[in-house]
Amino acid sequence: MSDPKTPLRDREEEGGRRSAYGRLTSGLRAQGTGRVVSPGQLLVGDVGTADPDADGVALAEYALQHGLRPSAQRPTIWNYIAQLWRRRHFIIAFATARNIAMYTEAKLGQLWQVLTPLLNAGVYFLIFGLLLHINRGIPNYLAFLVTGVFVFNFTQRAFISTSSVIPTSLPLIRALQFPRASLPLAYVIIELQQMVLSMVVLVVIVLASGEPITWYWLLVLPALLLQTVFNVGIGLLVARLGSQVNDFSQLLPFLMRTWLYVSGVLFSIGTLSLRTHRWLIVLLQLNPAALFITLVRNALLVSQRLSQPGAQPYNAAKCHIWNTLGHQAGASTQYQYDSAYCHPYANPDYFWYYGVGWAVLALLVGFFIFWRAETRYGRG
Amino acid sequence: MAEPMVVVDDLHIVYKVYGAGGDRGTAATVLLRVLGRKTRGSIREVHAIRGMSFIAYRGDAVGVIGRNGSGKSTLLRAIAGLLPPEEGNVYTTGEASLLGVNAALLDDLTGERNVVLGCLAMGMSKQEARDKFQSIVDFSGVGDFIDLPMKTYSSGMGSRLRFAIAAAKSQEVLLIDEALATGDAEFRVKSHARIQELRSQAGTVFLVAHNLEEIELTCNRVIWMERGQIVKQGEDVISIIDEYIAASGGAGIARDPVTRARIKTQTLDSATR
């Protein structure tokens, strides 16, 4: 069962006609060869007219003369941003509507928005807090773990949902005209709304684990803002990828799992003792997921801020104690803070700059790449 | 001289369909394909529009007829700028829109939320959506059901609300794809009147409908499509429709002058009311 593509038209005739009339305006993509001609000399692709002035004019030129524009033309990047801004209410309404619709079938309804992160945290508490007693030398391991899981989840879910946003929204794309970047943007906003609720749960858990409230907590807001901007950027990027490479969604779970394991969700990258591969550790620490996790952890958890390498002046003896005794299974809590006396692999003072860098870079690249294919998303 | 509103210049539209071939099933065939460095055999291109040219002027109501799969809906989407042309181009004033918001609505949400969502999706501002809200609800006649989820509506009620939302915005170039056959007899008259009203506000209307009588009554021009090409087009609506009916072997339209006059006056009445 094959439907061979019909030759679009007789190329020779096309070429001949183009040169003979030479009425094609340059700078327009995908121009047709139709003309407006008086009846009697009509060729395929021509339109008859009774207007003697228009006789023999190329259709494209005729349209432009009358102030018409190509219907599927990509707007300039500045126009595109303006269009998106005008659609801001739609984007937010669309995101909120989908968020609400997600739980209408469930008996507990909107309560699931809070229950889901709570149960997530519960699983980790059960396994790591009660069953395994693993802390790998990290103080307040439960809060450390749950913070990492929640922050990573935000990026992970944004990544996964935007990768399929174009195929799943195809009916909408083929019915209404709007800047297509609205869709990945709305999907990231959905995840942001869920993240805000997760943060409420997280705050409760962190307080319950014995961390004090400090002014540093306010730093969570800029950290989440940067992460959201970053998520929008990669959301736009993977939305375009997902619209063109269908196999991408099959590959995604493996990508995400790898990313989870290298981003220090379950362990602290900064206190790894792989001295020979210093560059590798720096690389892991500066990957965007790890970076945003570290920023939030340092904001919320005093135990993290005080125990991260570089927090105290270097002290070879204490660092050595931590490297040997601190890593032992069931090590006493007295060694846990000694990692602060080690050299940091990447300087934590610069983490905010790196975070801004990642967010801006992702947004610029993602937006540009998504915009490039703006008119093609309806094709499927 | 008539002012052109839509110029279609030698338009070609191609859809890409994935997974169409039968060779995708076994791992062995995939492996062979990968080893052979062949391109994916399962992508099939469907050439939906193969070279159409025409001009529609201000004040035109263009009926598009043809069998299922002849490319009528694709043509409307291309005019609305929703599908990129493979070759050729479509030129419009930039305000061509399909009548229909179904895809933007969510059945799990209340009618109320859907009205707002639909209005915003069509590009209205928040204020406009608020202003139109009551008239949309009144027009749809769903009454108190408006604060219930749309999935609890009867199918007639749902389609009435969808139509009411879609018809709330007037367009310069209005593209109507089989939107008329919704609801009960009373609502059909009402929606017919609303479309006449939109038509009078719009510069140009394109109407795709299987109901040929509808086209005869509302359109001054007709385009007959077959396999993505124009078979015939012109202002001689009745003879082209008759020819189309003869070609597809259907029964002719009974043109009873009394009934036709009644339908026309009915719609005009309610349009002016």
Whether B67 has a pLDDT exceeding 90, the answer reads: no
The pair phi, psi for residue A105, each rounded to 5°, is -75, -25
Walk me through the domains of chain B, giving residue ranges and CATH numbers: 4-10+55-99+171-272 (3.40.50.300)
Give the best residue of A5, A17, A71 to mutate against chain B (max B CB count within 10 A). Answer: A71
Please give the residue of chain B at the shortest CA–CA distance from A33. Answer: B10
In chain B, the residue whose alpha carbon lies closest to the alpha carbon of A42 is B53
Q: How far apart are the first and last CA of chain B?
A: 33
Interchain contact, A105 vs B91, CB within 8 Å: no
Q: A56: left (phi > 0), else alpha (psi -120 to 50), else beta?
A: left
pLDDT, tens digit (0-9, with 9 covering 90-100), for B161-203: 888 888 888 778 888 876 555 667 777 777 778 877 877 777 7
β-sheet bridge partners, residue B73: none
Identify the helix (H) or strand (E) that includes residue B197. helix B185-201
Inter-residue contact B222 to B215 (CB < 8 Å): yes
Tell me which chain A residues have a C-beta less than 8 angstroms from the C-beta of B92. Answer: 68-69, 71
Task: Supply the pTM of this predicted model.
Answer: 0.81
DSSP H helical ranges for B25-107: 27-35, 72-79
A309-345 pLDDT per residue, tens: 877 788 778 787 777 777 666 666 777 777 777 877 7
Helices (H), B5-154: 27-35, 72-79, 111-121, 126-140
Give the pair of three-digit tokens for residue A96: 């909120």
Yes or no, beta carbons of B81 and A68 under 8 Å apart:
no
Long-range Cβ pairs for the range A154-157 (8 Å, 24+): A154/A191, A154/A192, A154/A195, A154/A198, A154/A227, A154/A231, A155/A227, A155/A230, A155/A231, A155/A234, A155/A288, A155/A289, A155/A292, A156/A256, A156/A259, A156/A260, A157/A191, A157/A194
Where is pLDDT greater, at B47 or A368? A368
pLDDT at residue B32 is higher than 80: no
> Could A32 and B79 be called an inter-chain contact, meaning their C-beta atoms sit closer than 8 Å?
no
CA distance B38 to chain A (A): 16
Q: What is the pLDDT of residues A127-159, one digit of tens each?
A: 876 777 666 677 888 888 889 989 998 999 999
CA A357 to chain centre: 15
* Pairing relationship of beta strands A47-48 and B96-98 according to DSSP bridges: unpaired
- Three-state SS at B33: helix
- Residues of chain B in contact with residue A175, where contact means CB-CB under 8 angstroms, are 82, 98, 100-104
With a cut of 90, say whether residue A292 has pLDDT above it. yes
C-beta pairs of A375-378 under 8 Å, 24+ apart in sequence: A375/A72, A375/A73, A375/A74, A375/B81, A375/B84, A376/B84, A377/A166, A377/A173, A377/A180, A377/A243, A378/A170, A378/A173, A378/A174, A378/B77, A378/B82, A378/B83, A378/B84
B150-159 burial code (b ≥16 CB/10 A, e <16): beebeeebbb
Q: Residue A349's pLDDT is what?
A: 80
Say yes or no for a CB contact (<8 Å) between A31 and B93.
Answer: no
pLDDT at A41: 56
Return residues 77-136 of A near B (CB < 8 Å). Answer: 86-87, 89-90, 93-94, 97-98, 100-101, 104-105
A24 has pLDDT over 50:
no
Q: Quote ipTM for the complex.
A: 0.77
The pLDDT of residue A19 is 29
**Minimum mean pLDDT range among A104-113, A114-123, A238-247, A284-293:** A104-113
Indicate the average pLDDT of chain A.
79
Q: Which tokens go with A102? A: 């997600």
Q: Which of A58, A71, A177 shows the shortest C-beta gap to B90? A: A71
Q: Looking at the complex, does the CB of residue A53 fall below 8 Å from at least one CB of chain B?
A: yes
Contact criterion met (CB < 8 Å) for A45 and B81: no
Q: Is A373 on the interface with B (CB under 8 A)?
A: no
Distance from CA of A259 to the nearest CA of B (A): 27
Residue of chain A with shortest Cα separation from B12: A8
